[in-house]
Amino acid sequence: MRSLTTISTLILNPKGGCGKTTIATNLAAYYANAGHETVLMDCDRQGSSLHWHRLRSPDDPAITATTVHDQKASVTLAWQYRMPMGVGRMIIDSPAGIQPYELAEYLGRTHNVIVPILPSTLDMHATMEFIDVLQRTPEMRRQRVRVGVVANRVNDRTIVRRQLLNMLEELNIPLITRFRDTQNYVFVAGLGKGIHEMRHQRFVQDQRDWLPLITWLDERPLQHVPDPDLLTV
């Protein structure tokens, strides 16, 4: 195990289909392969991250997957999962449609927020409005939480960069990396694997795309030490 402290990362965007679960599951697989104890918390009733986890082979590096919902009873159990001692990385996959009043519950449990964004003008516009709301939360204003954007399903790098960077500059939010629009992500998801668990040459470019994100997540410029009770979900 590499680290004794927990770094918690929330994948957040009220918009469905922008890549939250894809990023959450790939990140969990990356950390598990890097030797961290890893918890994947699925907060979406659809349970896509849990489903992905069930597809994993017993030979794959272990990830603890859990949920805040009781899937059978369709009730919210509150955050009553108890974090094992010494967990290295926690990844929280959030549902679509999160409302501003729900943000505090999520932000209080995380160090980093990744906002995936699709390269369409409408998606970018909606996401910028959401980031604006995010920046007004007490957690962000007190610099308790860092927020970075990941452009997902990007084919034309130049157009997206220009539009996105202009928008993000106004909000003072970094664009961490961009992921290609590729069936590689669909393929690995169907195996219960992450892109970093694939050995074939065709995955190398996608694996490289993750490096800026991994680096950014591990930087810890904030002095904030989260309340241990809040990390005990």
Ligand X SMILES: Nc1ncnc2c1ncn2[C@@H]1O[C@H](COP(=O)(O)OP(=O)(O)O)[C@@H](O)[C@H]1O
**Residues between 71 and 130 with contacts to Mg ion, criterion CB under 5 A:** none
- Give the tokens for residue 193: 């694997």
Residue 16: name its binding partner from ligand X, Mg ion, none (Cβ under 5 to 8 Å by kind).
Answer: ligand X
> Phi and psi dihedrals of 114, rounded to 5?
-105, 125
Binding of residue 53 to Mg ion (CB under 5 A): no
How far is it, in rounded angstroms, from Cα 82 to Cα 159?
44
- Give the tokens for residue 51: 């489903």
| Of positions 8, 9, 13, 21, contacts Mg ion by CB under 5 A | 21
In the chain, the amino acid numbered 2 is R
Residue 90 contacts residue 83 (beta carbons within 8 Å): yes
| Of positions 15, 20, 89, 109, contacts Mg ion by CB under 5 A | 20
Q: Residue 25: left (phi > 0), alpha (psi -120 to 50), or beta?
A: alpha
Using CB under 6 A as the criterion, which residues of the chain lie in contact with ligand X when the complex forms? 16-22, 48, 96, 152-153, 179, 181-182, 185-186, 189
CA Rg value for the chain: 17
Residue 47: name its binding partner from ligand X, Mg ion, none (Cβ under 5 to 8 Å by kind).
Answer: none
Residue 127: name its binding partner from Mg ion, ligand X, none (Cβ under 5 to 8 Å by kind).
Answer: none
Binding of residue 152 to Mg ion (CB under 5 A): no
Instruction: Name the site residues for Mg ion (rule: CB under 5 A).
Output: 20-21, 48
